[in-house]
Amino acid sequence: MILDRYFARRFLLAFGTIAAIFLALILLIDMIEQLRRFEGLGVGLGQLFRLSLLSAPATMSRILPLLMILSTVVLFVGLARSSELVVTRAAGRSGLRALAAPIAVALVIGGLTVTTLNPIAAATSNRYTQLSETFRGTGLSVLSLSGEGLWLRQGSARGQSVIHATGHGGDAVTLFNVTILTFAPGGGPVRRIVARSARLEDQAWVLTNAKVWPLTAGQNPEAAAETHQILHIPTTLTRDSIRDSLGRPSGVSVYDLPATIRQLAQAGFSTRRHEIWYQVELARPLFLVAMVLVGAAFTMRHTRFGGTGVAVLSAVLLGFSLYFIRNFAQILGENGQIPVALAAWAPPLAALFLSLGLLLHAEEG
């Protein structure tokens, strides 16, 4: 038990050190990218650094498998160089038994990633998007689904508009039974529009059979109302932004994903991307354990045998290959080529069994 605590402490130290190094690099690189993106817009360094901090959790979550495999490599290369692995085996403990502590730590980190880092990354990612749009001056665009239909909010320097529709054409580009309430920059309502349908075209909503009520103070809205067979309403929304809002599960906390999937299904939208993301997040601890086993399979050897550099490179390359395969399976699942459960759980299980095979072969050898 004492030895397990020692290995766990060494593994946590390696993971924390590598995570801190990568976090510093991510902030530096992202800061340079933010300077390029917001050049000439009058955004200060403090605001840009805030954007970099907001984007960091999502980036760290994506590179977590790499951090895990590098931590394992650092742990076992260090133990091999100090001959601690030799002493451990001489004391009667097998190499596989020595992996119990790193695997337990990987499971804890994976669990914390799903339960804690995922909601944080979702919240900071959404806040990053909001601030980016605000700094660019394009206004904030929000989409949500509820039992009452689809809600959109678009903004610009001329004010905000709230759009409600009880039906859609399947991709949120064509809306039916539309109501638009426009607000002035000061916050008061200035116009209400009801239309039979609305279609998003180039920088405008094209409304059919629309009726417009001005809401100016001191004016009778019904008396001043106008009807239009076709009415164009300028918008800052695009088809891609709406589809990304519907299909960007990374901006939804793992706790809210089941409810979001139900709402999307009730509204008639495809839920495959959200279902895949949800299952992939649940399978993340298993995949992190597989990364630990991959790193151990190549580095649980004494340095006197030589080839340490090749072993480390092989471990990292195999880890990247498994990560690529997992992402490829996720894309196949999103496109409906393979079932959701197979796309989410097959790569971690395959990586786990592959690394176990490599470890058993090395131990028997």
- 3-state SS class at 253: coil
Cα 36 from chain centre: 23
Tell me, what's the pLDDT at 176?
83
**Which pLDDT does position 290 carry in this prediction?**
92
Which range (228-237, 259-268, 317-326) has the least confidence?
259-268
pLDDT over 60 (residue 140): no
Mean pLDDT of the chain: 82
At residue 247 the predicted structure's pLDDT band, cuts being 50, 70 and 90, is low
Which pair of tokens denotes residue 83? 């001959």
Confidence of residue 148 (pLDDT cuts 50, 70, 90): low
| Per-residue model confidence as pLDDT tens digits over 162-183 | 888 877 665 557 788 888 888 8
First to last CA, the chain: 27
In the chain, the percentage of residues whose pLDDT exceeds 90 is 25
- What is the average per-residue pLDDT within 107-136? 87
Indicate whether 257 pLDDT > 70: yes
pLDDT of amino acid 45: 83
pLDDT classification of 361: cutoffs 50, 70, 90: confident
The DSSP result for 93-113, as a single string, is --HHHHTHHHHHHHHHHHHHI
Q: Which residue has the higher pLDDT, 207 or 94?
A: 207
Q: Is residue 268 predicted with pLDDT exceeding 70? A: no
Helix (H, G, I), strand (E, B) or coil at 206: strand
User: For position 302, what pLDDT does the model report?
Assistant: 62
pLDDT at 173: 73
Which has the higher per-residue pLDDT, 302 or 141? 302
* Cα–Cα dist 362/250, whole Å: 38
More confident residue, 287 or 34: 287
Taking the C-alpha atoms of residue 102 and residue 282, their distance in angstroms, rounded to an integer, is: 20
- Report d(CA 55, CA 49) in Å as an integer: 10
Burial class (CB in 10 A: 0-12, 13-18, 19+), 162: middle
Q: Is the pLDDT of residue 351 over 70?
A: yes
pLDDT tier, 59 (very low <50, low <70, confident <90, very high otherwise):
very high
Q: How confident is the model at residue 101 (pLDDT cuts 50, 70, 90)?
A: confident
Range in 24-38, 147-161, 203-217 the model is least confident about: 147-161
Whether the per-residue pLDDT at 62 is higher than 70: the answer is yes
Q: What is the pLDDT of residues 205-214, one digit of tens each?
A: 888 888 888 8
Please report where in the chains the tokens 């009415």 appear, as a residue: 231
The interaxial angle of helices 64-81 and 284-299, nearest 10 deg, is: 30
Q: Phi and psi at residue 254, in whole multiples of 5°?
A: -60, -25
For the entire predicted model, the pTM comes to 0.77
**What integer is the mean pLDDT of 51-59?**
91
pLDDT, position 89: 67
**Is residue 44 over pLDDT 70?**
yes
What pLDDT does 334 receive?
83
